[in-house]
Each structure stands twice: as structure tokens, then as C-alpha cells.
Chains A and B, each alone.
Chain A
Amino acid sequence: MKFEIPIGPQHPALKEPISLRMTVEGEVIRDADIRLGYNHRGLEKLAEEKTWIQNIYLTERICGICSHSHTSCYVQGVEKLMELAPPRRGLYIRYLISELERVHSHLLWLGVAGHEAGFDSFFMYTWRDREVVMDLLEMISGNRVHYAMNAIGGVRRDLDDAQRQKILDGVAVLRKRTEYYFHIGANEPSFVGRLAGVGRLTKERAVALCAVGPTARASGVARDVRKDDPYAVYDEIDFELCTADTCDVLGRTVVRIKELMESYKIIEFIVRNLPAGEIAVRAPRKAKPNEAVSRYEAPRGENIHYIKSNGSDKPERLKVRAPTLANYPATVEMLRNGFIADIPLIFAAIDPCICCAERSVELIDARSGEERTVRMSDLRRLAAARRRASGLKGKAEWPF
């Protein structure tokens, strides 16, 4: 006997509105069906009515955590359209901010994973240390989250020596703390017990479903845009690609902590040999008809923008595909045969940034059955079935 439990638009585990309908048998999930659309703001249609400069602030507000990655990806594409060459110092500062943002995003994710697993002290500790990075970002750009550092042709603020020294001290403190978290993440029995073996995604399925970012790298797929298609500064910096092959949430935790250590190395490299010179170059108002594809390694995975211009000062088409959207088919794959208790963990494992993915939405081959779009507005009232399922025994008939 199967019944569906709705994890609806408003749920403590999900910081954002997404609705999952799980077909559940006892505590085992048989099938997942993700319905988004709650967060769709029609961004691409809006982008066609704004000028190039206004679009920077629009793309920045796609997502609160990876705001700098969307603007960098957008600005890279526009600079390619307009054949602009931003000065080296501007590029270095831009990618310093992007690495700091990766640190802040990964620390945030570690806290959320701890909270999903019920380990609130870990959540409190990681978020307390995240404040160190937030202070650095605020010192550089003036705002904690939306930095508005990017301009077409470079960066808007410069770094002086006092700030560079503060960054180095901050990174030193963070490196010590991250080693402490690596120690906890790797061998705190109840935490590891909770993460190991949850949300399995084999390597073939990860490749077939085009998973990106730490989710793919934790299944052994070595795919990182900074290595495959190094943009601007990354071909000069040496850093390793962190992968794990345990294919589960524990692997994703390990990959993210290793990436934190790599980011510290990159930040120190950038701050130490920051070239002198200008930080930005003037950009023309109009762009001649052209098209550009720009790719960027956001904290959650590969971020791709396809920009097409038609000679006017407004883009003809701006296509944004955020990393979370690519990870959704993989999420449904992981949810199958998991436990109800694992839903928030598996879902947090891909570090969903639903507002990113929300410019568009996803549904994978959920069992069709009669298409009764469960009006989940009142998810707490929905008592799917009076009698509880008969547990795991009995022949589980496969939905397909």
C-alpha cells in the first residue's frame, strides 16, 4: 500500500519554496516527484527589457548565496561580446571575491547539513566562523551578501595593503577551524553514521544525468570548469581537483571541506601576487550583434550563461542555467529507496539554491498515474491514508 507524503512549499528543512511529493511505503521512499515553479520570477523576460548595466544587478539577485558567481559569469560573457580586455588587477580582485564567496557558501552548507542531521552545535560553530568571511567581504565590498563588485570591464573597488593583510589573517584563522571541522566531519560517529550511505548516486548515473559540482565530484566524476575550461585567472593558479568516490552525502561533505582548503590556497596566491595597475576599463553602451557562452564554477557546480546581442543597448536573449537545476535529476535518483528521515539530508546534499534553479523547473520520470496535481496548499491537512502502510514486508510492486 503506497501513499504520498507532501513536503510542501513551506517546510523547515527547505529554506525555499519547492514541493516534493514522495510516494512512500513505510519509511522507504519509492518515488519522488519534484514540482517547483513557486519561485519562478520570469527573469529572462525581464532581462530583455533592461540595459547591460541594469542586468548586472538583476543577475546578482538570482541567488543570495552565489550572487557574485552569476554576475561574474554574466560580465565575462558581455566582455567577450564587446571584445573588452579587463586589466589583470581587476580580474584578480574579481576572482578573489569569487573564492571568498565559495568559502562562505561551503561553510554555510556545512552548517545546514549539520542542522538537517540534527547536529545543531556543528551548525552553530560553522556559522560562527562564517562570520569571519562575511566580515572580510563586508570590508572589501561594503555589503555582506550582494557585493555589486562587478562592472562590465573590471571591478568597482580596489584593495589596499591593510585589507590584504586582514584577508591573510582571516584565512589563517579559517584554515585552522576547517581542519577542526574535517576532523569532526570525518569521524564523529553519530554524524558520520547519519551521512554514510545516504543518497547513493553511482558514477554512470551521475554522468548520464549531467550532475555538476560537488554532487558529481563526490561520485568520482572529475568535472570542474576551473580545470576543464579555465577562464581568466585560473590557468595561472595551481590547485587540485578534489573528488571522492564514496558516492554519498559523506563524500559530498568531504569534497566540500577539501574544496575549502583549496580555496584558501587560491585566496592566498591571489592576495600575494596581486598585479599593479588599473582595475577597470570603460565599456561602450551598445554591443554589436554577437553571441557568447560563458561558463563559471559556482560553489554548487557549473554555471552557464548564453548571451545574444542585437546591436542595441539591451540583450536580445539572456539564458541562465544555474547548477542546482542540473542536479535535480540526480536528486530524484538519490531519493529513490531512501528513508523518509533522509529526505532533508539528501536534498541538502546538493545544496539546493532553488531560487537559482527557479528561472526554470524540473520533473523527472515520476510515475505518471492519474495526474491529480495535489493542491498542496494545505500540506498539513492532507491525511493521505488513514491506515499506515504495512511496513517493508510484502512484495513491493515496482511502479514502472
Chain B
Amino acid sequence: MRVRDLRVWYGTERGAVRAVDGVSFDLTAGETLGLVGESGCGKSTLGRGILGLLPAGAATDGEVLYEGRNLVALPPRELRGLRGPDLGLIFQEPMTRLNPLMRVRDHFLELLRTHEPGIGEAQARRRSLETLGAMGIPPTRFDQYPHEFSGGMRQRIMIALALTLRPRVLVADEPTTALDVLVEAQILAILADLRRNFDTALLLITHNLGIVAEACDRVAVMYAGRIAEQGDARTVFADPAHPYTRELLRSTISLATTELHYIPGAPPDLADPPPGCRFHPRCPDAMRVCPAQDPVELDLPAGQRVACWLHGPGGAVPEGGTLPLEREEIALAEEA
């Protein structure tokens, strides 16, 4: 799947919110791409935008190429046909994602009958139990109701539901945020094995850099509706090119943290984002050119792709543009 210059804007009373504002990236089969960013940076909108699951008031343009077809331009009926057999989505809170009045069995039968009308009950049962078994759900609990399962079990059922028809692309929107540490690790192990067992391309959306580092091959760091930096996980973590990636890594508290660090200020209001590079108000390396012009996406020799004037093509920077930007200190209490 190739996403080219995708834009998703919401119309609200305060004007148009530019949740996703020109995002491009690739997702290849059997590869896991981690999409990471603080809350409110538009990563969920991007995840849902690809599958066309946006609320009514959202406007989308740009290209999401999948097997030669642009999903953004696809008529809704055809796009719905793809959801299930080709595209899958896993949500954050598992507790409310299953219909409380339907047994787990009926969820699977409904799914299989919708996409493969002719399928017999026995065959449908067998395939559902096979996927559920792979997720660690015992066959004896197939006929039970959702409220009889714990949070972790329900998330496994959701993943099984998404994987039953072997989709080529799976989007997981903060799949483990609502779960405890041990159950989170169990779910991450399942998602990381998707490559081997189901040859699925996985877009894993999270705010936790640790999950991206351990479970993803490539990573894309998103800030205020745009991708600041993307590339192979090892390269990006070892030598972050974009100042935001660097600051985010430093402010993440992990077992190795010996010193607290934070990024001053708060993520911008997407209805009226700062001009030019949207990180410039909070960026320690901000230069004069940063608020003036949008940064240009560039591929660095090490393999990352970054949108920042620090690496910007020399020619496009007006002279004097690289002088540090003077601006008044951000107040301590000016925060998210």
C-alpha cells in the first residue's frame, strides 16, 4: 500500500481542523510500520482515513494506492467490500467493541457470511476456531457472550475477527493502551508474529516509543498532522534526524532514564497551526526559515526520510535563513 499526500480535514465550529495535512508513506507486505506521536497529532485520523471510516464531516483527498486502486476515490460500497478480506482495523478499547447481545460465534458467522455468502456453517466454524485458537482463545468458549471475557481476551477476539479473512493490510489503533503490562506484551507478541503467520502488512499506531522500538521494522513520527520523520526503526532510534524525534526520545521515561527531560510548550491547535514547520515554536534548533516556509521531505543517506530545514536542500533556504530564530521563552505553565 502506498499513501501519497493524504489530507483529512474536519469542519468544526472553530473552522477546519487539519488533522492530516499531506502525509506520504509506504506499507509493504509482511512489514510492520509504527506510527508514533503525541495525542492530538492526527495519527488515529490517518489510520481510519485509510479505511474510509471517518465521521460524516470529514473531507479527504490525496491517494491511498492499494493493488493499483486509489481507496480515497473508491465508491463507499466497493471500499466496504475490501474491509475484511483485504483491510482490517483493530481498536483501542476492547471492552465495548463486541455487540453485547451477540455470542462470539455469531460475530464470526456474520463476518464470514457477509464476505463469503455461500460458506457452510461447519466450514465457517472451523475457520473461526482456527484463528481464535491461534490467538489463544479455547474452542469451548466459542458460544459465550462478550461480557464473559476479560479485556485481554476480548482484544484477542477482535484480532481474530480482523484476521479471519487474512487481510493484506491491518491497521491497529493503540491496540494495547487500555491493557495491563503483561497482557499488552502478549498482544504485541501476536501482532509482531503477523508477518510470519499471516504475511500481513501492519500499521501499528501508538504513543509509546517502546512498543514501536520492539515490535516495528520501520517507524514514522507524526507531529501536528504531518510526518516529521520516517525510516528503519534501528536507524531512527540510533540517530534521530528530526529535532522532534530526538526530543521525544529524550523525554520518554524508560528503565534506562536517569534524567528527566521535556519539550516545552504544547502541541498546536490543528484548526490554526503555526506557519511553516509546525514544530518551530517548540524546536530548540529552530532557524529563521522554519516559520517562513514548509520544510521539504528529503531522503538522507542513512535511509530516513525527514522534513526539516536542518537537512533541507541548501538551494531552497533564503540567505540568513539558518540563523537561530529569536522568540520569547515559553511560560512553564503553557503545556498540554
- Indicate whether A and B interact: no
Q: Chain A: residues with CB nearer than 8 A to chain B?
A: none
Q: Chain B: residues with CB nearer than 8 A to chain A?
A: none
